[in-house]
Chain A
Amino acid sequence: MKDNQLAKYIVKRILISVVILFFVALIIYSLMRCLPTSYIEQVAREKSMQPGSKSFEEWMKQLTAMYNMDKGIPEGFIAWLGNMFRGEFGDSWKWTVPVVDKFADTVWVSFAMGAISLVLQVLIAIPLGIIAATKQYSKTDYTISVIALAGISLPTFFFASLMKLVFSVHLGWFDLYGLVGRNYEQLDAFGKLLDKAHHLVMPVTVLTVISIGGLMRHTRTNMLEVLNADYIRTARAKGLSEKSVVYKHAFRNTMIPMVTILGGSLPGLFSGALITETLFGIPGIGYASYHSMISGDIPFSMFYLTFMAVLTLTGNLITDILYAVVDPRVRIS
């Protein structure tokens, strides 16, 4: 495809994405406003309980005005959107710090977990899927499939608890909770990094194991389909070794549908893993956003959810561009 054609396509996609984003934000905002939990109500109730304080209604009135929630949903949304364009995301109600600060504080540990586990997934699941496909219906295939299925079926909380029981309680290799150890403050920079890495071993393992199955099954199915294709027979008829048939001719074709999955995992890198983070006491973004949402922290939740929407749309765009990279057939139209 010509370069300016590609540029035109990307610009068009970005413009469409902006429209989609607007409506996504509108829906999220309306939903947040309709939540049964209201942060303002909670605060007002607490304040009114104090001796000699104003009544609940008076507090409500004052706080609603203070938090700019005295307007209706459309007006509120437009105000939020205006601030957004000025780069003002406001302060988080629950965490009482600027939204961006809280987000930056928590997102990196989640990103590290997600990224490491994604790399591990790809490194483990794709080769396993290929092996299972090339040895279809053999003992190897069945073993891999059973393990993958077990991985898919295990609930996170169960598997995480099991890991904790074995490796923390019985073997004592890892701490039960937290991102840092007891004597973290006394360590030098490298020691601090190692300490964090040590604490991330179990959560990353859990994340990897539970998601390996899906990717592996996908690779296997795609590979099987490709291995039955006519051009694979042609490759064999050329006299190529089985290795170059599978890893050169079949692999490139297997990767085409895999790109969709990998592109779709972009938002997953930043969204955090709520259950795993909670179980292992890791102060990540999944944990923070969950608590923001249940306490009705509108600025933080809005920022988090909008950011996820942006990432999802970006992921889709990247997938489409990558498609053109791996599949020459997509490049013309």
Chain B
Amino acid sequence: MAKKKPEGYLSAKESRRISRENRKITNEFEKKRKRKSVPEEEYVTVMKDEGNVLEIDNLHTYFFTDAGTVKSVNGVSFEVPVGKTVGVVGESGCGKSVTSLSIMQLVQRPQGQTVDGEIRLNMGDGKAYNIVNTPNYKMQGIRGNYVSMIFQEPMTSLNPVFRIGDQIDEVIALHNPEMSKEDVRKKTIEMIELVGIANSEGVARMYPHELSGGMRQRICIAIGLACNPKLIIADEPTTALDVTIQAQILDLLRELKDKINSSIMLITHDLGVIAEMADYVVVMYAGRVVEKGTATDIFKNPCHPYTIGLMNSKPVVGKKVDRLYSIPGKVPNPIDMPNYCFFKDRCEMCVEGCAGAYPEMVKLSDTHYVSCYRHYDNAQKEEK
């Protein structure tokens, strides 16, 4: 090396080479995805456990950028049981949203591709679809119908040029082609009332800009729930709302979930929200699941140093501290991940084994799993 280049520096030549290789890879994926008809056996599978609505198995979603491959989701596995709420926590950029977008197959293509793993969606009658291989024409029947998503930005998530009623009508009519126009509108009004908006007829005739953020999020929820989905993915549904509205929206979500008997995958970085809502918790860090278990497992007995750090960094009423705890250091560069535990450089509890390969998931109890060397001794290794 004659000259020392700053970290992350790419010469034009290198960048060109990377983008050429990326194009080769993504074109391959795109070609596979763009086929007009895909044989059923490619995407029809069976659930491992019929009690789950969604099983994610070793999911890898990569982004092929000009600076290199970003492994946003790097071997994530968890399941969402029927009728339960699963909370996914982790800091910004840890792959929570990309996981949820992968479930909807809405990752920004062609750069973003699900390269490996399975997402099994329970379609009922012992049938399941592997979302990763499901062709687009089938996906259109799943989105908004079996799985729906509520996004974090209610202010911009509704189309500004269409009336509220028309936007809800659209999704109902799309998935229920046999319904008449009047029935669709009736259902729309019903949905608006269901999410707790008075003056439903009037609101249906309004444009999104005439509503407040909380109202818009209610409308987004109405759109999401209009077709009684089996799974609701709520991607930080309360982040953009003020605190008084947050609780209302969460209550509403929980209430409606029970009403239509679906499951919720709740993505957030607010531990309070998780404690309030979730039955199961999945903690993600740098594209991987570091710890998962029931809410009690995670809050009563956090085992991964990252989870412990997270718990310590939330303010507690009645506890006096000079300065709120924060986890030192920063997330490793997503393009150039280390080959040891991703959290090692920030970890205050390292043991000897930490220098080795990335730790595998170990089982602490029937529901509680963690991937950390500290727990290798007092846990049996997860049988695969």
Contacts and interface: CB of A to CB of B under 8 A. Distances in A.
Interface of A: 229-231, 233-242, 249, 252-253, 256, 326-329, 332
Contacts of A328: 160-161, 207, 209
Contacts of B76: none
A10 to B, nearest CB: 22
> Contact residue range for chain B?
20 to 34
A311 to B, nearest CB: 29
A-B pairs, top 8 by smallest CB distance, nearest first, are A239-B144, A239-B143, A230-B156, A238-B144, A328-B207, A231-B159, A238-B171, A252-B161
A275 to B, nearest CB: 39
Interface string B137-172: 001111111001101010011111110000000110
Contacts of A332: 209-210
Given A329-B207, A329-B209, A238 B160 contact: no
Contacts of B156: 229-231
Contacts of A229: 156
Nearest to A255: B161
Contacts, number: 72
Nearest to B206: A328
A234 B209 contact: no
B260 interface: no
B161 A236 contact: no
B104 interface: yes
B67 interface: no
A236 B106 contact: yes
A231 B174 contact: no
Nearest to B175: A239
A237 B141 contact: no
B151 A233 contact: yes
Interface of B: 104, 106, 136, 139-145, 148-149, 151, 153, 156-162, 170-171, 174-175, 207, 209-210, 220, 223
A231 to B, nearest CB: 4
Between B106, B158, B161, B174, the greatest number of chain A beta carbons within 10 A of the residue's beta carbon is seen for B161
B152 to A, nearest CB: 9
Nearest to A230: B156
A159 B31 CA distance: 40
B161 A230 contact: no
Given A238-B144, A239-B174, A327-B161, A233 B209 contact: no
Given A230-B151, A328-B209, A236 B143 contact: yes
Contact of B223 (A234, A242, A256): A234
Contacts of A327: 160-161
Contacts of B209: 328-329, 332
A255 B175 CA distance: 28
A230 B153 contact: yes
A330 to B, nearest CB: 10
Contact of B141 (A233, A239, A329): A239
Contact of B161 (A233, A237, A242, A253): A253
